[in-house]
A and B are shown apart, each in its own frame.
Chain A
Amino acid sequence: DTGVSQDPRHKITKRGQNVTFRCDPISEHNRLYWYRQTLGQGPEFLTYFQNEAQLEKSRLLSDRFSAERPKGSFSTLEIQRTEQGDSAMYLCASSLTGTDGNTIYFGEGSWLTVV
């Protein structure tokens, strides 16, 4: 069990550029989540997938954000036209559904700094 993997771990980008983060969940997990965490705050839910279907999106996920999970395995989170307010850690997590689905496992996060 390799856990949830995220790439890149750190990204510095200029305002207005696009960035993409990748997440590889635990292999048998069919649910995948994205959260955002700013300094001094707890993580906030952005969106989640069950298999390849995106079932819920938070109002925090503006039109500049898009997430995909094309084959129900890895996922990408793209931020277009980045703004300084997008600077945060983006956390990916995964879980099973059903009775074992109660535990959500997190990756180590992708830090984004917009300058």
Chain B
Amino acid sequence: GDSVTQMEGPVTLSEEAFLTINCTYTATGYPSLFWYVQYPGEGLQLLLKATKADDKGSNKGFEATYRKETTSFHLEKGSVQVSDSAVYFCALRGSGGSNYKLTFGKGTLLTVNP
């Protein structure tokens, strides 16, 4: 079945540092890929998405490129802020008959220190 593997955290960075959170997936067909962010005690917010190979999703300075050849969707940000501290989830939405649900990775906790 579909699966998502994220780099294990926690990740601790200083403000203005460069961020990469790795995400790889296993799926049949052509899934859509997502990054969601979860702040403490809250639900999930969609951060960015990409629906086909080579698409780049971007939002709030975060970027991720859908790489079908490496089955990856790594999240990057050039300069993190303290307010970026949260848990980040990579997810995929299957194509065809499984397109109704999201499959999530375990999440990566990011802490940004001033």
A54 to chain B, nearest CB (A): 12
Complex: A105 Cα to B42 Cα, angstroms: 13
Q: Is B101 among interface residues, defined by CB-CB distance under 8 A?
A: yes
Q: Is A68 among interface residues, defined by CB-CB distance under 8 A?
A: no
Chain B contact residues, majority secondary structure: strand
Q: Is A108 among interface residues, defined by CB-CB distance under 8 A?
A: yes
A65 to chain B, nearest CB (A): 16
Q: How many A-B residue pairs have CB under 8 A?
A: 52
In the complex formed, the residue of B with least CB distance to A108 is B43
Category for how many chain B residues contact A? 20 to 34
Query: When the two chains form their complex, are residues A106 and B43 in contact, meaning their CB atoms are under 8 A apart?
Result: yes
In the complex formed, the residue of B with least CB distance to A107 is B43
The interface on chain A, measured as residues whose beta carbon lies within 8 A of the other chain's beta carbons, has a size of: 23
In the complex formed, the residue of A with least CB distance to B101 is A45
* Complex interface: chain B residues within 8 A of A102 (CB): 32, 49, 51, 93
* Complex interface: chain B residues within 8 A of A45 (CB): 101-103
Query: When the two chains form their complex, are residues B89 and A103 in contact, meaning their CB atoms are under 8 A apart?
Result: no
Binds B, one of A12-20, A36-44, A69-77: A36-44
Which single member of B46, B91, B101, B105 contacts A33 (CB below 8 Å)? B101
Q: Is A21 among interface residues, defined by CB-CB distance under 8 A?
A: no
Complex: A55 Cα to B106 Cα, angstroms: 26
Q: Is A88 among interface residues, defined by CB-CB distance under 8 A?
A: no
Q: Which B residues, 14 to 50, have Cβ-Cβ distances below 8 Å to chain A? A: 32, 36, 42-46, 49
Complex: A101 Cα to B105 Cα, angstroms: 21
List 30 A-B pairs, Cβ < 8 Å. A4-B43, A6-B43, A31-B100, A33-B101, A40-B107, A42-B4, A42-B89, A42-B91, A42-B104, A42-B106, A42-B107, A43-B104, A44-B104, A48-B100, A55-B100, A56-B101, A91-B43, A91-B44, A102-B49, A102-B51, A102-B93, A104-B93, A104-B102, A105-B46, A106-B36, A106-B44, A106-B45, A106-B46, A108-B43, A109-B43
Q: Which 10 A-B pairs have the closest CB atoms?
A: A42-B104, A108-B43, A106-B44, A45-B101, A109-B43, A106-B43, A42-B106, A107-B43, A43-B104, A42-B107
